[in-house]
Structure 1
């Protein structure tokens, strides 16, 4: 009987493990769908960043000059409907939520490596300073505050909190194709 009891116990353990594996698969499938909504189609365990919006058109790009800007355009504009949710492109800590002159309502997300990601012209913010956010957490919504010609997200990426770099290159370096 002892051998039969051991076999039955192991079968029950195997059934429990299979159930947990199936639940993890279902969870991963849902996670994959969320990541795909924000432009990431690779291994969910290897994701480094996602796009800040699910639906957008690219408009003014990095480095443009002209009458719309005081200097070079320091970010990438994503035209979208007012109120569209903006998500955290990566895990980080919210280090600013404030009106910032021409940037309008701006949220700054600081990533673990010190990179700042600026979300500008927001209608509202759903986060507060000091809040830790995870990849794809909603942080606010698209708006047209500050110097703006219509609803859009002005996204800036500033490594080590320094000068802005091209957000498109930064996103592509993380496996995304905006």
Structure 2
């Protein structure tokens, strides 16, 4: 008896049938657009990825731009602050220089004024030391030079007599150095001064002497008090001008004083 296969739903399709069915299915999917539908979805996904990447790049670019702008602002602010500081520092230095210049000028003015005062004081002192004056302030000549009489051993007056009451102040007529101070015989108490110009002056008949040998004197400095010591007829000052310290070198005392600007 010949063997026969069972027919019906329990029978498994042959491999050829399955292959054919698969092919048919693929064709059907293609025909129905399933594969066509999948293709656009994949493309859309690619587009989304590209868009996302583009957005990321754009975000990075924007972020870099913002960062760069912020850095520029910070740098600009720093530059402005530096310029403001440098300007303020320049103004401060200029103000300090201005104040220093004002101070320098003020100090220079003070120095100049001080020097001018010192120069004026020196000039005044020089004039004072070079000035001459009467040996008795406000006095006058009571007996003239070369007057004759028995009172003088030489027969004539070797000097002049200035009117002076007893105890009147007798001063040096100019600057010089005392070379004699004491008793002078007929001159009584007397003082002899070597003047700075090399001449000599003598003051006789003093009641008292107020200087000593070697002492420097200036015009108007008191050297003694008038009196009537020695060969004297009464209180007065005997005054002589000489070219040397020796007796007999006398010159006209009035002419001598007038040559030094003294009104006699």
Structure 1: any 5+ residue segments left out of the alignment?
33-42
Residues 130 and 66 (structure 1 numbering): CA distance in 2 closer, same or farther, change over 3 Å?
same
Q: CA deviation at 1:129?
A: 0.9
TM-score, normalised by the number of residues in structure 1: 0.80
Q: CA deviation at 1:8?
A: 2.3
Distance 2:245 2:114 in 1: 45
**What RMSD in Å do the two structures reach over aligned CA positions?**
2.6
Structure 2: any 5+ residue segments left out of the alignment?
1-95
Distance 2:128 2:245 in 1: 27
Q: CA deviation at 1:19?
A: 6.0
Name the one with the larger helix percent: 2
Match of 1:165 among 251, 254, 258: 251
Residues 112 and 172 (structure 1 numbering): CA distance in 2 closer, same or farther, change over 3 Å?
same
Q: Secondary structure at the match of 1:161?
A: coil
| Alignment of structure 1 residues 67-146 onto 2, 5 Å | 67-70=150-153, 71-146=155-230
Residues 130 and 45 (structure 1 numbering): CA distance in 2 closer, same or farther, change over 3 Å?
closer
Distance 1:47 1:105 in 2: 27
Match of 1:7 among 102, 107, 110: 102
Name the one with the larger strand percent: 1
1:86-142 deviations in whole A, cap 9, x for unaligned? Answer: 111111111111212211101111123432211000011110111111222111111
Q: Does 1:155 align with 2:239?
A: yes
Q: Secondary structure at the match of 1:5?
A: helix
CA contact (8 A) 2:129 2:175 kept: no
Task: State which structure, 1 or 2, has the greater radius of gyration over its C-alpha atoms.
Answer: 2
- Matched residue count: 165
Residues 45 and 57 (structure 1 numbering): CA distance in 2 closer, same or farther, change over 3 Å?
closer
Q: CA deviation at 1:23?
A: 8.1
Distance 1:46 1:137 in 2: 11
Distance 2:178 2:127 in 1: 23
Residues 45 and 113 (structure 1 numbering): CA distance in 2 closer, same or farther, change over 3 Å?
closer
TM-score, normalised by the number of residues in structure 2: 0.56
Q: Secondary structure at the match of 2:138?
A: coil
